[in-house]
Amino acid sequence: MKFFLAQLNPIVGDLHGNAKKIFHIAGKAYSDSADMVLTPELSLWGYPAKDLLLKKNLVEEQYLILDKLSKSINKNFGDLSITVGIAEKIDDSFFPNLYNSVVLIEKGEWKTIARKIILPTYEVFDEKRYFRSEDKVSVISKKIKNVTYKIGITICEDLWVNENIEGRGIHKKNPISDLKSKKIDLLLNFSASPYTFKKSKLRDKISSFAARYLKVPVLYINQVGANDDLIFDGNSFIINKTGSKIKQLKSFAEDTSIWDINENLNLVHENKSSEISSVFDALVLGVKDYAKKCGFRSALIGLSGGIDSALVSVIATAALGSKNIFCVSMPSRWSSEHSKIDAKYLVERLNIHLNTISIERIMSSFEDSFLKSLNFNAEGITNQNIQSRIRGTLLMALANQEKHLLLSTGNKSELAVGYCTLYGDMNGGLSVIGDLYKTNVFKLCNWLDSEDSIEHRKAYKLDTRIKIIGDKIRKKAPSAELGPDQFDTDSLPPYSLLDKILKGLIEEKKDLKCLEKDGHAKEQILKIIKLIKKAEFKRKQAPPILKLSSQSLGNDWRVPIAIFN
């Protein structure tokens, strides 16, 4: 029996377009003499479809599309079978009235073969808003060349039932345990599992456990591509019954592969790509797909000469190509000469566009207007925010005029403590590095300028002969340059200290006592906690943040604005 793994990048809600993609893949599988094609979770809808699933007309339309797709596959590819992820309607008066299901298309018809049992509601997931849980595990029989195979089916979270590996606690239901008595010949898992740090290794472990426990091969097929703030890394694979990987599909790219159940393959060697290189790949795909799926061909970046905007410029160039990246330098009276020069040289290294607009006259006009009309002299943080908002307004105007996607360049450390200006540097259609702490920004830039990144730079058509970020940008003291001789450390602890406390509070959910045990000063912790709370109203108005960690400050950060202090 030959399985054809199709790691697809769907567009959310494009039922017709996704069906065409599935049909095209069926043609490839037919050419390779495959028996069954596997596509990811909710492959007809794209994941996550969110409240599109509440549109009754779309749910009904999917059935018409399935009918047409079934007939077309049978007409063109004969007895080829293909799995498709759908939102299955439940005909009763209760809500939610959908299952997260997998259907099997064969012989011109389709039928439901599996429904998701465990519906996640942590991090970005909110599946109980849309779906009902199935009660029993799914097993189908498939006869090929007079041999009948019993195939167990799980959908994404149904596989994540080992508390010692995935760490979220014991589920009330355990599909893997329930499959033990079914004496299956192999296990399929259809997933739409987003990328986060080190998640690929967890998937390997959880699948290896299932293979060894059930003593069958596991075929794991995952969605790839970026949808809004989520990035799906693909990385589909096959693990043999002893728990060892025998096939690995590409990371961060559409890919296909065929496997005969009777084929003995060599073990796959461990992927040598580093976690930091995967972060870069994820961010590039995040920008590329967000722009493409939202209809943008070019990006606009406010370039300060600092490390954050430099990194975003490199990511955008890798994603969209140098000819499509437009930068604007907007120096004020406090902008240092070296920052202007650093921005200029970065643009030359990347071969991207740069315009310079001095905001000095605009600043003076604001100051005069306040003074003459209101007898109001803008000073300190007010003055600094005005500078940032002037820049933000100019960038938004250019983005509107030229139909660029404006990329926000703030990092997670700044966003966490509110070291950013609402309607200023927070402006943008997408926050590229908003889930990267400042210390990780430095790590990623150091990697980009090292020989370890050469192959990546080649792949993304970035210059490999020089350091792409540059020593001067990487080694300068962080500064927003909104005042005379201003540095970030004037307002914040050193990032090496700040980021440890932030990670403890945000990702690890530690309280004051735990952080004190880690060696942090109580006064410092309390100050940072206060800053995080105070900045919540800003984060609620931030652009979508590309998610990299288990806890970003985007859709999976559900904290009230008005909160007890």
Q: Which residues are catalytic?
A: 41, 116, 156
* Count of residues in the chain: 565
d(CA 292, CA 175): 38
Q: Report the C-alpha dihedral over residues 221, 12, 550, 233, rounded to 10 degrees.
A: 40
| Token representation of residue 44 | 């007809």
Cβ pair 367, 376 in contact under 8 A: no
d(CA 510, CA 502): 10
List Cα–Cα distances, 416 to 265, 413, 428, 435, in angstroms. Answer: 47, 5, 17, 10
Report, in angstroms and rounded to the nearest whole number, the Rg of the chain calculated over CA atoms.
Answer: 26
d(CA 414, CA 547): 16
Spatial CB neighbours of 515, under 8 Å, sequence gap ≥ 6 = 501, 504, 505, 525
Q: Is 23 exposed, middle or buried (0-12, 13-18, 19+ CB in 10 A)?
A: middle
List Cα–Cα distances, 440 to 311, 408, 460, 502, in angstroms. Answer: 11, 17, 21, 13
List Cα–Cα distances, 545 to 348, 465, 514, in angstroms. Answer: 28, 32, 28
Axis-axis angle for helices 275-293, 307-320 (nearest 10) = 60
d(CA 160, CA 154): 10
